[in-house]
């Protein structure tokens, strides 16, 4: 079907282009995949020839319907493996991404079907990201981040926007996990920081960057 590299490009293009199906620039894609712009151009052209992406020279790329379908399969596999690693193998949520990056390229449909069954058909991965079903359908990603709340609002952490190991370890240190309740006490325009209470604990300060990477369901 597809090589692991092709799958990685499709996934990255799909994710970067977002809900609005915006066109993704070669440089953005190359940076995401930690490769050169020349390599990205090369692969984009290969994917374009296979009809997996829409490509306009110098303008950017987009997944085509078939490319999106392929990307969603990779994302499904990735997220199911992450659930397995955390729930069954007892990994911490910051350790699973790199391993799932490898596991996601094993394409046996039976394997994924049985894994999904074994995990009791999970709907979200350990970072709160929705898992596409076998047809590629999944729950919408949340849109509200902690920094969008008004002073005095109470919210529940439902997913992380950044799932880098560093960020997740930092959240661990702050005792912020999925399901945690966060009350926004105050906003300081001067340095863009937030004063919050986590699980009804003492007031602490969060940077704007951190607050912008925590998806919240308003309560």
Partner DNA sequence: AATATTATTTAGATTAACCTAAAAATAAAC
Partner DNA sequence: GTTTATTTTTAGGTTAATCTAAATAATATT
Interacting residue ranges for a copy of itself, rule: CB under 8 A: 85, 88-91, 95, 98-99, 102-103, 106, 108, 110-111, 114-115, 117-118
The binder of 4, among a copy of itself, DNA, none, by C-beta within 5 to 8 A per type, is: DNA
E-assigned strands of the chain? 53-56, 60-63, 154-160, 181-188, 193-198, 203-206, 214-218
User: What are the CB-based long-range contacts (under 8 Å, 24+) for 170-173?
Assistant: 170/210, 171/214, 172/92, 172/94
Residue 207 interacting entry, from a copy of itself, DNA, none, C-beta within 5 to 8 Å by type: none
Distance (Å, rounded) from C-alpha 154 to C-alpha 177? 15
Q: How far apart are the first and last CA of the chain?
A: 45
Q: CB of residue 157 vs DNA: minimum separation in angstroms?
A: 34
Kindly state whether residue 25 participates in binding DNA, applying the rule CB under 7 A. Answer: yes
3 binds, options DNA, a copy of itself, none, Cβ within 5 to 8 A by partner type? DNA
Q: Which CB sits closer to a copy of itself, 27 or 114?
A: 114
Among 38, 89, 203, 219, binds DNA (CB under 7 A): 38
Q: Rule CB under 7 A: is residue 50 a binding residue for DNA?
A: no
Closest-CA residue to 182 (of 201, 162, 161): 201
Q: Which residues sit at the interface with DNA, rule CB under 7 A?
A: 3-6, 25-28, 34-46, 55, 57-58, 60
């Amino acid at each position: 079907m597809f090589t692991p590299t092709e799958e990685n490009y499709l996934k990255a293009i799909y994710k970067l282009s977002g809900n609005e199906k915006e066109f993704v620039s070669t440089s953005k894609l190359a940076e995401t995949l930690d490769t050169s712009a020349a390599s990205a151009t090369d692969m984009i052209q290969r994917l374009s020839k296979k009809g997996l992406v829409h490509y306009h020279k110098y303008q950017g790329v987009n997944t085509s319907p078939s490319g999106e379908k392929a990307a969603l399969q990779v994302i499904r596999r990735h997220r199911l493996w992450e659930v397995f690693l955390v729930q069954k193998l007892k990994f911490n949520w910051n350790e699973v991404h790199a391993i799932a990056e490898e596991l996601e390229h094993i394409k046996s449909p039976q394997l994924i079907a049985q894994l999904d069954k074994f995990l009791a058909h999970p709907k979200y991965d350990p970072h709160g990201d929705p898992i596409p079903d076998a047809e590629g359908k999944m729950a919408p990603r949340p849109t509200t981040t902690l920094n969008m709340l008004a002073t005095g609002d109470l919210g529940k952490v439902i997913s992380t926007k950044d799932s880098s190991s560093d960020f997740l370890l930092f959240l661990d240190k702050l005792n912020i996990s999925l399901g945690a309740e966060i009350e926004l006490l105050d906003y300081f325009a001067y340095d863009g920081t937030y004063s919050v209470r986590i699980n009804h604990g003492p007031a602490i300060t969060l940077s704007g960057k951190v607050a912008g990477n925590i998806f919240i369901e308003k309560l």
